[in-house]
Amino acid sequence: MVQLVGSLRKELADSLSACRVLVVGAGGIGCELLKNLVLTGFKNIEVIDLDTIDVSNLNRQFLFQKKHVGKSKAQVAKESVLQFCPTANITAYHDSIMNPDYNVEFFRNFMLVMNALDNRAARNHVNRMCLAADIPLIESGTAGYLGQVTVIKKGLTECYECQPKPTQKTFPGCTIRNTPSEPIHCIVWAKYLFNQLFGEEDADQEVSPDTADPELSWNPADTEARATASDQDGDIKRVSTKDWARSTGYDAVKLFNKVGFSLFKDDIQYLLTMDKLWKKRKAPLPLDWLEIQELGKILEVTGTGLKDQQVLGVAGYSQLFSCSVETLRSILADKGDGAELVWDKDDPPAMDFVTAAANLRMHIFSMNMKSRFDIKSMAGNIIPAIATTNAVIAGLIVLEALKILSGDVEQCRTIFLNKQPNPRKKLLVPCALDPPSANCYVCASKPEVTVKLNVHKTLVLALQDKILKEKFGMVAPDVQIEDGKGTILISSEEGETEANNSKFLSDFGIRNGSRLQVDDFLQDYTLLVNVIHCEDLEKDVEFEVVGDAPDKAPTPPSAQEDKNVANGNKDSAEPSTSSKAPAEQDDVLIVDSDEEEPSSSTMDVRMESGGHKRKLHDAETGEASAKRQRLDQPSAADEDDDDIIALD
């Protein structure tokens, strides 16, 4: 007779009460997960998150209330959970998981780690720490109605970094509001503006300058006086955008450059007072309505063919902005007091407004403007974060955790939450976990990569920051040249090798075929880097990683080649946990306007369409992974969601 405690076997229930688990991230998924864990019977939980609560979190992170804004997410989440489960033992850390204090020994204190993150750097780091500690990791992620959960276990499954991932396409809110560098940034800003003026206002869709930008190191008291374009302080007065616009009668000229809410003049001049933002960027150019009207006497149009495929000049888009504002104002007035408009890519006035506003902002920030056709294709599929998706994924995380704690790791699956049911009427589709591969540069027994660069132009600092830290996800790398002398090129100890930073690699005898042994002691991670000297890299390309697996460079004589060890286990070489897969075209853009640092989601959420696989890359981070073996039938043809832009 099986003895039950609630719905669980007594042995499993006892295991839950005794085991110690770590939750990394206390945001959208993290809140749901903490609630699920304590209600399932987990008693010893530690949660870590560096972020603080913002008002925009309150619509989906239910452990937080308005009174908590500005407080630590981890601490408030702990306090909220203890209110409905006071017997739980929860420890909260308001800190970054990448802090050296949370080393391999820290991770070994847990039976299980669960990620609820929203950025790739932190995911990479937790992945490596769990491999080094040989602790099971459950990864998860959501984007709109799509979600995914998967399990990572050293030696049994591929790790998070096994699959090649495209360049991450996540955009913090401060990028949208302060420093746009791509047309998509301006298009998202224009959609935010539409909602602020005519639709449902959302604190998560602010369009005025972001004074909390982490790049800033200016003194508002000193620079405010220089924002002379407005009466006091640019657009930093926190008044309702819609209320102000209504008070002006939606006057297009006032929206352009009048006191209070100035989109293309005063706000830009206020941005210019944020000095540090423009030290390494081209500063924006404010627009003035009257000056543009003078230019408008000569209407500039580029491009041929259909009207939607033509690009108007600044004056043309200014006129389009004015006309669309008037049209939308009239539509809103006809709907009566308290009415709101909903943006629709097939609504001509709404599309005209976004086209005009986005192009004017592109011009201000020195980007090439886009046709209405191009903007419509990019702006048509913006989706919000969905609280219920987070809830479903959090539930699936707990189910996978129960399998692990029952000793049934082989029964774990990658589970995809799709937007529409498949032919078997299932929204949740399980897939077999991919087996280990010897080609992963993180979890292989002897991780190795080949990097192509120009040794005469690459600085030691670029090797450290752009290649080892940014590309390969290291936190504090130490680099030794395998030249028979053991030359130390980079040391993680402060001050030891800083003098090398401004020197070129060739200054240290590094040439075609040189090998560098790189160690990150915090991650218990060793990587061998083969250097290929190349003088004909593409323009603006500083380096290239050659393939998934290293193409062996010519090996100079070295007595240190046999000193490599398996990451996380210096006594034996474990099999790798990856599977080789070519990088696939990224078709998802993520806008992270609610940056939960260091915390995006995780893997790839895929939708099946006839026999054609579509991926949602790394649900909140835009990352891709390889094809997986299906345990279910392919789903029916889904609606086309190319170039989705997900808003978290």
Catalytic residue among 31, 85, 130, 174: 174
| 60 in a labelled binding site | yes
Whether 390 has a binding-site annotation, put simply, is: no
Is 118 assigned to a binding site? yes
Other CB atoms within a 10 A radius of the CB of residue 193 amount to 22
Helix axes 73-84, 28-40, angle to 10 degrees: 30
Cis peptide before 349 (omega within 30 of 0): no
Residue 495 known to bind ligand: no
Q: Angle at which helices 372-379 and 183-197 pack, to 10 degrees?
A: 80
Q: Is 439 annotated as a binding residue?
A: no
Query: Annotated binding residue at 440?
Result: yes
Cβ–Cβ under 8 Å, residues 373 and 355 = no
372 is in an annotated binding site: no
Strand partners, 449: 529
User: Does 371 carry a binding-site annotation?
Assistant: no
620: left (phi over 0), alpha (psi -120 to 50) or beta: alpha
Would you say 30 is a known binding-site residue?
yes
Is 29 assigned a ligand-binding role in the annotation? yes
Task: List, in order, residues 6 or more apart from 70 with CB less than 8 Å away.
Answer: 52, 53
Residue 13 labelled as part of a binding site: no
Rounded Cα distance, 428 and 415, in Å: 6
Cβ proximity of 160 and 119 under 8 Å: no
206 sits in which H/E element: none
Tokens found for residue 423: 């032919």
Q: In 85-178, where does DSSP find H-type helix?
A: 104-107, 120-133, 173-177
Whether 586 contacts 397, CB under 8 Å? no
Calpha distance 618→168 (Å, rounded):
9
The verdict on whether residue 619 carries a ligand-binding annotation is no
Q: Does 147 count as an annotated binding residue?
A: no
Residue 97 annotated in ligand binding: yes
Residue 41, marked binder: no
Is 328 annotated to bind a ligand? Reply is no
- Residue 37 annotated in ligand binding: no
116 annotated as a binding-site residue: no
381 annotated to a ligand binding site: no
Three-state SS annotation for 57-87: HCCCCCCCCHHHCCCEHHHHHHHHHHHHCCC
Look up 174 and say whether it is catalytic.
yes
Closest CA to 128 of 149, 156, 107, 150: 107
Rg (CA), the chain: 27
Residue 6 annotated as binding site = no
The residues assigned a catalytic role are 174
- Tell me the binding residues for Zn(2+): 159, 162, 440, 443
- Tell me the binding residues: 25-30, 49, 57-60, 73, 96-97, 118-123, 159, 162, 440, 443
